[in-house]
Structure 1
Amino acid sequence: MKIIFAGTPEFAAVALAALHAAGFEIPLVLTQPDRPAGRGMQLHASAVKQFALAHNIPVAQPVSLKLDGKYPEVAQEAHALLRATPHDVMVVAAYGLILPQSVLDIPPRGCLNIHASLLPRWRGAAPIHRAIEAGDAETGVTIMQMELGLDTGPMLLMQRLPITADDTTASLHDKLAKLGGEMIVDALRKLERGELSATPQPEAGANYAAKISREEATLDFRQPAQELGCKVRAFNPFPGAMGVCNGTPVKFWQAEVLESSNQWQAGQVISANAHDGVVIACGKGALRVTELQKPGGKRLPAVEFIKGFPLEGACFD
């Protein structure tokens, strides 16, 4: 089969690489326009674009696909390109643009989406972050037939993956990206043989995985340590969980949950030494932070961090 691929970040690039390695013909890739990044805010190509160009795959980067949107002429050109490109199916992974019905109707065999969640558990933009933040014991990948609703389409394939106690969004992302690449290859081969069946999603248990914002990063130590530990792992690598001590924001990159009596004020640093690390009292239990970072500094193990930023007896807001 010939595949048009639509995706943008590294998660999608892993799937594109798997399809390419499996020998599928990919006559066109859609990805988001280049974005400014880094200190110099220079334009950077997406991970998907970089892979496509490296393998001589044509790339299109429309800012919109909605004919009734802000850029109708751009959308019309994109529609014309899709219709003019011989293909059987479109594969979508973390593309970042809404596909209107007029696009969903173009591929003869529809649009398949690689979604990093056990649907309908987490629909939306940040299913990996939200699964860890919620303390889920497992997650996985769902290959879904796309429709207009937000991640509401029929499920074609699903595989489960445990979330370990030390998984961060970064580590879980890599596991799910690899799994998603393997599954979409399997799904397309089944589709070619006529062996792919669809199962409607149940509405029960559906949650919206809203995009992560920087405002969520600041921890409230009145919450239980278990919840805060999940946030630290969920917000690694972005935006980085944060506590404020004497007006200075301190990022927390790794942390462990400890049992503790309630004799300490929430946010109070119980200990900050080479033996115990940085232990902070919470609404219930305590958080031992093992990797920290101050503004403009490097991520450091707790034993190194406290040499330049003493925390013994301090209190986080």
Structure 2
Amino acid sequence: MKVIFAGTPEFAAVALQSLIEAGFDIPLVLTQPDRPAGRGMQLHASAVKQLAQRHGIEVLQPLSLRQDSKDPQRAAEAGDAHARLLATDYDVMVVAAYGLILPRATLDIRPCINIHGSLLPRWRGAAPIHRAIEAGDDETGITIMRMEEGLDTGPMLAVERLNIAAGDSTGTLHDKLAALGGRMIVAALRKMEQGALEAVPQPEAGVTYAAKISKDEAALDFSLPALELGLKIRAFNPFPGATAQLDGATVKLWAAEALEADSAAAPGQVLAADAQHGIVVACGAGALRLIELQKPGGKRLPAAEFIKGCTIDGARFS
């Protein structure tokens, strides 16, 4: 089979690597334009582009695929991309975390199938891994689906479930799901080659939407229950990183443990800060033991190391 691949971040690069290793013919890769990143804000290629270039695969980076865009440059690039797709000999387009909407004109050229990081119809949308952890879900998985114009509404071609471990962050769960998606897309395409890939409509019940993560969500409100805050810290690791204010500085909180505790202290008040207990903070319900923290410009540190560099007895996180 000849496969056009569309994707951008590391999650997608894992799938592309799996397709390359499985021997699929990949004549073209679509990925988002290079973006400024790092302290120098220099342009950086996506993980997918870097991988494609290492394997000598042609890369296309349109700003948009919508030819009806009101932006002349985007519309022109979309027209060029559409013409390039029409001129390419391929059997299927595989999409994984591409980040651009595929319009009807693209979907109609050849079958398009998507690797989605949730058990659809739960967590349709941009941030299914973050939202599954934030919500306290016990499991998630990968759904291979046929794409249509709706947001992750297409029929399911393959589903595999994966337990969410108590210590999973978005980072660790991302890596597990990326590997699972890579294995599943190869198996799905093998079945497609044999004409044995069946489509099943998504259930109408249980639809939820995984809104894109905003940096504004990173600031923690300690009046919330400790259990909820612990889930947010896991969900926002590694991006955008949960934050709290301590003595006027923004501290990042990378790992924590919810405790059952009764305290009359105000939310955010430090209840303990020593090598034995770590840093325990009062919450709206229960308390939160902070396990890993980071000062501005510093390294991530275990709580026992963090408290060596500052005095936080009686301090308050806000």
TM-score (norm 2): 0.98
Q: Which residue of 2 aligns with 1:143?
A: 144
Q: After TM superposition, what 4+ stretches of structure 1 lie above 2 angstroms from structure 2?
A: none
1:98 aligns to 2:101 (yes or no) = yes
Q: Which residue of 1 aligns with 2:92?
A: 89
CA drift at 1:158: 0.3
- 1:182 aligned partner, one-letter code: R
Distance 2:303 2:247 in 1: 18
Greater mean alpha carbon deviation, residues 199-208 or residues 117-126: 199-208
Greater mean alpha carbon deviation, residues 197-206 or residues 276-285: 197-206
Give a deviation string over 1:182-229, Cα, whole Å, max 9, x none.
000000001111111111112311111011111100111111111000
**Unpaired stretches in structure 2, ≥5 consecutive residues:** none
- Equivalent position SS for 2:190: helix
Give the counterpart of 1:78 among 81, 88, 112.
81
CA drift at 1:75: 0.8
Q: Which residue of 2 aligns with 1:252?
A: 253
- 1:64 aligned partner, one-letter code: S
Q: Which residue of 2 aligns with 1:181?
A: 182
Q: Which residue of 2 aligns with 1:222?
A: 223
Q: Which residue of 2 aligns with 1:196?
A: 197
- Equivalent position SS for 1:290: strand
Give a deviation string over 1:291-312, Cα, whole Å, max 9, x none.
1011111111111111112211
Q: Which residue of 2 aligns with 1:11?
A: 11
- 2:51 aligned partner, one-letter code: F
Q: CA RMSD in A?
A: 0.8
1:295 aligns to 2:296 (yes or no) = yes
1:304 aligns to 2:305 (yes or no) = yes
Greater mean alpha carbon deviation, residues 66-75 or residues 98-107: 66-75
- 2:50 aligned partner, one-letter code: Q
User: How is 1:60-79 mapped onto 2 (pairs within 5 angstroms)?
Assistant: 60-69=60-69, 70=71, 71-79=74-82
Distance 1:262 1:270 in 2: 9
CA drift at 1:245: 2.0
Distance 2:62 2:2 in 1: 21
CA drift at 1:262: 3.3
Contact 1:262 1:283 in 2 (8 A): no
- 1:30 aligned partner, one-letter code: L
Distance 1:36 1:161 in 2: 34
Q: Which residue of 1 aligns with 2:284?
A: 283
Contact 1:133 1:233 in 2 (8 A): yes
Give a deviation string over 1:237-275, Cα, whole Å, max 9, x none.
011111112322111001111110132221111001111
1:43 aligns to 2:43 (yes or no) = yes
Distance 1:94 1:295 in 2: 31
Q: Which residue of 2 aligns with 1:161?
A: 162
Q: Which residue of 1 aligns with 2:20?
A: 20
Distance 2:312 2:132 in 1: 31
Contact 1:92 1:112 in 2 (8 A): yes
Q: Which residue of 2 aligns with 1:236?
A: 237
Q: Which residue of 2 aligns with 1:205?
A: 206
Contact 1:7 1:30 in 2 (8 A): yes
CA drift at 1:144: 0.4
Distance 2:263 2:307 in 1: 25
- 2:313 aligned partner, one-letter code: E
User: How is 1:52-63 mapped onto 2 (pairs within 5 angstroms)?
Assistant: 52-63=52-63
- 2:300 aligned partner, one-letter code: R
Give a deviation string over 1:66-122, Cα, whole Å, max 9, x none.
010122211111001001110000000000100000000011xx1000000000110
How many residues are paired up?
Answer: 315
**Unpaired stretches in structure 1, ≥5 consecutive residues:** none
